[in-house]
Amino acid sequence: MDQLSATFAALADPTRRAILARLTEGPATVKELSEPFDISGPAISKHLRVLEKAGLITRGREAQWRPCRLDATPLKEVAVWAENYRRFWDASYARLDALLTEMKETEQ
Amino acid sequence: MDQLSATFAALADPTRRAILARLTEGPATVKELSEPFDISGPAISKHLRVLEKAGLITRGREAQWRPCRLDATPLKEVAVWAENYRRFWDASYARLDALLTEMKETEQ
DNA sequence: CGGTTAGATAACCAAGCGGTTAGGTACAAG
DNA sequence: CTTGTACCTAACCGCTTGGTTATCTAACCG
């Protein structure tokens, strides 16, 4: 699986996006991250592994804690990818695109 | 499944992203879209259904063809979502963040 | 009419996902 | 040393996913 696919797949789960949102406020332990959700610890562990493999978080070791820290660099690739489609959602460009399509059709 | 999750899930597949890229050049039939890939027609149909449910394409009817057209509006939400993390991948902000973390730690 | 083409649907399969419970490891505190 | 806490791994379960082949509909073409 390529990097971009892994990133999109990781972001497809609301729990994982909530974890990322929490990590914008600073590093957190697994316990802290699991508190907002009523799912088991192993389920959180799996989510964190997905995020780690996607390069969206890094994990340290401090005694019995495994603090998680946000690494947003893959999100830059997401933003860049999405920006390539800006002209297709931007209204003025959409009108221009429709005009060009119409011109192309009538010229044949 | 919420809209954003559906969009991310749809984008997690390279074949579907390639289909979207092709549609930036204009509408295309199912056959045209399937040509670059050596997977069966039904597999393409499934990908198109995923994209359609995510609101990323719309489909028309012209005789025996079902032309697909790009609808990039969900990608705007993706871009907006990712932009909220810009300060975490931007180098200068990263350095500022590290500085603030250091200050917070030493003040205790 | 018969044949061809575009495309969808159905049924199936292997693999992956999101969740669980049970049990194991590592460390700190009493 | 014992107990409790933080976290992980393993095994399992139901559902989804990405693919297949086979079959069906709908439209055009001769």
For a pLDDT cut of 90, what percent of chain B falls above it? Answer: 78
Residues 6+ apart with CB under 8 A from B8: A8, A9, A11, A12, B78
pLDDT confidence of residue B64:
85
Q: What's the CA–C1' distance between B48 and C14, in Å?
A: 22
Pair B74, B81: CB distance under 8 Å: no
Sequence-separated (6 or more) residues with CB below 8 Å from residue A45: A30
Task: Give the total number of structural domains in chain B.
Answer: 1
Distance from CA of B45 to the nearest CA of A (A): 20
Per-residue pLDDT at A64: 86
Q: Are B10 and B50 in contact (CB under 8 A)?
A: yes
Q: Are B64 and B83 in contact (CB under 8 A)?
A: no
Give residue B94's pLDDT.
61
pLDDT exceeds 50 at position A52: yes
Q: Do A14 and B2 touch (CB under 8 A)?
A: yes
Q: Band of the pLDDT at B34, cuts 50, 70, 90?
A: very high
Q: Which residue in the set A13, A26, A89 is minimally distant from B75, CB to CB?
A: A89
The pLDDT assigned to A98 comes to 65
CATH number of B48's domain: 1.10.10.10
Contact of A16 with A34, CB cutoff 8 Å: no
Whether B10 contacts B20, CB under 8 Å: no
H helices of chain B, in order, are 3-11, 14-23, 30-34, 41-53, 73-83, 86-89, 91-106
Q: Identify the helix (H) or strand (E) that includes residue A58.
A: strand A57-59
Convert B45-62 into a string of H (helix), E (strand) and C (coil).
HHHHHHHHHCCCEEECCE
Which of A20, A89, A101 is nearest residue B76 as measured by Cβ atoms? A89
Instruction: Give φ, ψ of A58 to 5 degrees.
Output: -125, 155
Q: In which domain, by residue range, is A37 found?
A: 3-106
Q: Work out the percent of chain B whose per-residue pLDDT is above 70.
A: 83
- Closest to B4 (Cα-Cα) out of A93, A68, A11: A11
CA–C1' B64–C4 (A): 12
What's the CA gap between A100 and B14, in Å, rounded? 29
- List the single range of A42-46, A90-94, B79-83 with lowest mean pLDDT: A90-94
pLDDT digits (tens, 9 = 90+) for B56-78: 999 998 888 999 999 999 999 99
Structure tokens at B106: 């030493």
pLDDT (0 to 100) of residue A108: 44
Asked if the C-beta of A42 comes within 8 angstroms of chain B's C-beta atoms, the answer is no
pLDDT at A102 over 90: no
Mean of per-residue pLDDT scores for chain B: 90
pLDDT for the residue numbered B105: 55
Contacts of B2 in chain A (CB under 8 A): 14
pLDDT, tens digit (0-9, with 9 covering 90-100), for A54-97: 999 999 998 889 999 999 999 999 999 999 999 999 866 666 66
Q: Do A12 and B8 touch (CB under 8 A)?
A: yes
Q: Chain A: residue nearest B88 by CA? A: A72
- Within its chain, how far is the Cα of B48 from the centroid? 13
CA distance B2 to chain A (A): 9
CA distance B78 to chain A (A): 7
Report CA(A46)–C1'(C20) in Å, whole number. Answer: 13
Which of B87, B18, B1 shows the shortest CA–CA distance to A73? B87
pLDDT given for residue B108 in this prediction: 44
Choose the mutation target among A5, A69, A78, A108 for the interface with B, i.e. most B CBs under 10 Å.
Answer: A78
